[in-house]
Structure 1
Amino acid sequence: MENRRLGRTGLHVSALGLGTMTWGRETDAQDAAVQLRDFTDAGGTLVDTAGSYADGASEEILGALLGSAVHRDDLVLCTKGGLRQTARGTVVDSSRRALLTDLDASLARLGTDHVDMFLVQAPDLGTPLDETVDALSHAVTSGRALYVGLSNHSAWHTGYVAGRFSQADGVTLAAVEVEHSLLARALEDDIVPAAQALGVGVIGWSALGRGVLTGKYRGGVPAGSRGASAQLAGFVEPYLGEAASSVVDAVCTAAAGLGREPLEVALAWLLDRDYLASAVVGARTPGQLRAALGAVDLVLPPAVSLALDDVSAGDRESARA
């Protein structure tokens, strides 16, 4: 698998990243171990997790696998803080106290003294952005994180934080992580140009459009899918409408013509973006991950890529409106 440079840093990450949001919930420890071995055997390095995933169980499972299923130094570990579930609902907190506490808790669950990347998981309107920058800077200077970045933040946040870091010795904004697929292209008009101008790496999450680009929802919501689960039905539902259906139909038509699977075509389109460092794929089962890994050798014919560009352009146009 190709390894790509993350922005202007010296860090390289695998073109496909392994997402672990389902670990500890839909994916048990045994299947997680198989996924991790298959991923690293295919040349994958970037493993993306968060303290909020399954209330920390995702990190606990991953931590137990370090040194047994894989060697810690063979992975680029990325975790996130600043978001937690409480009895009152989701709490976003990017204060210095919350971020550094979250990071320390993640390190304990992962069983390591540092992560390769620590990201702020969501914007916090209640905390001054300068305080968040200070916390991230301290994460690096204290050795708990080698690189830091933002997840799900705007282009304005990206520019401001990058500018503030330019004044800090030895600390830079390494990455922005944002949803990106054929069904989520709005970032191409603002976040991507900002990241390119600032030398910040772009990591795309939910590279298969929350599972919809596999084509499995074309005939309805199948039992056992994320769209049928109580926890994730609302996550999938926005991509089950008519606009997304036309994109999925085009992907399936292209896949049939190429003799490949729809998810391979969708991932190949995304991996061809020259600004993208890594596309994160979260799989519930080892079989789903193996199917995704099959996309790394697929190069789409230019005519197919352009056709998919055109049919999926609606997301960018709606973002401009």
Structure 2
Amino acid sequence: MERRALGASGLQVSRMGLGTMAWGRDTDWPTVKQLVNDFIDAGGNLLDTAPAYGGGVAEKMIGKLLAGGVARQDLVIATKAGFVIRGGKRVIDTSRAAMLTDLEQSLRRLNTDHVDLWQVHAWGDAPIDETLSAMDSAVSRGLARYVGVSNFVGWQTATAATWQQALTERTKLSSVQVEYSLLARRAEVEVVGAAEHHNLGLLAWSSLGRGALTGKYRTGIPRDSRAASDHFAWFLEPYMQPRSRSVVDAVAKAAEGLGLTPAQVALLWLRDAPQVASALVGPRTPEHLSELLDAESKELVAPIVSALDDVSGGPNAYRPPATAPVR
């Protein structure tokens, strides 16, 4: 699998990353083990996780993988801090103390002495300079190799990046992680521009529109799907509305004409969008992963990209002129 530099850093990440949000709940241990082995065999290296995923279960599974023989050097482990589950409630705490405590606990669960990428999971109430000082500390102590932000809007991303660039002793940000897909193009309004200006690699979560872009919900909600589950129905609900149907139908039509699956078309559109370093996916089965891996050697031609741009919100201002729609 092709790898890309994460922003202006020296960290190389696979252009498709494996998300772990559903691990331990929808994805059991034997499946996780096979998914990761298949992913590594295909040349993938980026695993994206967080303390909030399953209340730490996803991180523990990665730790179990490492203890069971998966080579640490084969993985780029990205985790987060500042957003955790405490007492069954979601808590955002980006203070220096909370951030470093989160990291220490993550390292224990992950069974490693460092993470490759450490991200602020969300903008919090603590002063941003305090939050970022925790990241400087982690890098200086060897607990994290690179740092980034997650779920920041454009001005927040630019503020954090500018602060870290102000003094040479601070650790420059390498990435920004944000939801981005054919059903969620808000990132193009400000975040992509901020990432481009500050040389940040963009990690796109839910690149398949939380699963809606696979086309599996075009005729209803399958009983075994995430949209039918008590714990993930809320996650899919925004993309189960009529306004999303035209986009999903367009993806399905393009897939039919190209001899691809809707999931592959959605992935290719996002994977090769400007500033994207890695498209994060969360397959639940090895078969789902195999389908996505089969798209590695493929790419969409410019007219298809332009048509999908148009149906999902209009031209992408950051695309090179060669792939811009003809006017």
Asked if TM exceeds 0.5, the reply is: yes
In the alignment, structure 1 residue 261 sits paired with structure 2 residue 265: no
Partner of 1:86: 86
Per-residue CA deviation, residues 18-64 of structure 1 (Å, 9 max, x unaligned), is: 00111111111110000001101111011101111111111111111
Runs of 4+ in structure 1 off by over 4 angstroms are none
Do the aligned partners of residues 278 and 74 (structure 1) sit closer, same or farther apart at CA in structure 2, a change above 3 Å counting?
same
Partner of 1:65: 65
Do the aligned partners of residues 284 and 315 (structure 1) sit closer, same or farther apart at CA in structure 2, a change above 3 Å counting?
farther
Partner of 2:155: 156
**Are 1:185 and 1:315, in contact at CA under 8 Å, matched by a contact in 2?**
no
CA distance in 2: counterparts of 1:314 and 1:237, whole angstroms: 23
| 2:68 partner letter | S
**Are 2:67 and 2:111, in contact at CA under 8 Å, matched by a contact in 1?**
no
| 1:147 partner letter | Y
CA distance in 2: counterparts of 1:112 and 1:30, whole angstroms: 21
CA distance in 2: counterparts of 1:82 and 1:285, whole angstroms: 30
CA distance in 2: counterparts of 1:297 and 1:134, whole angstroms: 41
Alignment map for 1:1-321 (pairs within 5 Å): 1-66=1-66, 68-87=68-87, 89-124=89-124, 126-166=125-165, 167-169=167-169, 171-313=171-313
Do the aligned partners of residues 183 and 99 (structure 1) sit closer, same or farther apart at CA in structure 2, a change above 3 Å counting?
same
CA distance in 1: counterparts of 2:100 and 2:15, whole angstroms: 29
> How much does 1:3 deviate?
0.2
CA distance in 2: counterparts of 1:88 and 1:31, whole angstroms: 26
Do the aligned partners of residues 214 and 198 (structure 1) sit closer, same or farther apart at CA in structure 2, a change above 3 Å counting?
same
> How much does 1:314 deviate?
6.5
Per-residue CA deviation, residues 236-265 of structure 1 (Å, 9 max, x unaligned), is: 000011121100000000011111110001
| 2:211 partner letter | G
* Structure 2 alignment gaps of length 5 or more: 317-327
Per-residue CA deviation, residues 142-184 of structure 1 (Å, 9 max, x unaligned), is: 1110011110011111111111111141511110000011111
| 2:186 partner letter | A
CA distance in 2: counterparts of 1:100 and 1:141, whole angstroms: 13
> How much does 1:70 deviate?
2.2
> How much does 1:305 deviate?
1.1
CA distance in 1: counterparts of 2:76 and 2:159, whole angstroms: 26
**Are 1:209 and 1:239, in contact at CA under 8 Å, matched by a contact in 2?**
yes
Give the match's secondary structure for 2:295: helix
Aligned residues: 316
With normalisation by structure 2, the TM-score equals 0.93
CA distance in 2: counterparts of 1:65 and 1:306, whole angstroms: 41
* Structure 1 alignment gaps of length 5 or more: 317-321
**Are 2:306 and 2:315, in contact at CA under 8 Å, matched by a contact in 1?**
no
What is the RMSD computed on CA atoms of the aligned residues?
1.6
**Are 1:186 and 1:315, in contact at CA under 8 Å, matched by a contact in 2?**
no
**Are 2:309 and 2:315, in contact at CA under 8 Å, matched by a contact in 1?**
no
Do the aligned partners of residues 190 and 29 (structure 1) sit closer, same or farther apart at CA in structure 2, a change above 3 Å counting?
same
Do the aligned partners of residues 26 and 69 (structure 1) sit closer, same or farther apart at CA in structure 2, a change above 3 Å counting?
farther
**Are 2:250 and 2:311, in contact at CA under 8 Å, matched by a contact in 1?**
yes
**Are 2:80 and 2:120, in contact at CA under 8 Å, matched by a contact in 1?**
yes
> How much does 1:69 deviate?
4.8
CA distance in 2: counterparts of 1:274 and 1:83, whole angstroms: 28
> How much does 1:301 deviate?
2.1
With normalisation by structure 1, the TM-score equals 0.95
Give the match's secondary structure for 2:178: strand
Per mean C-alpha deviation after superposition, the further-off stretch among 84-93 and 141-150 is 84-93
Partner of 1:319: none
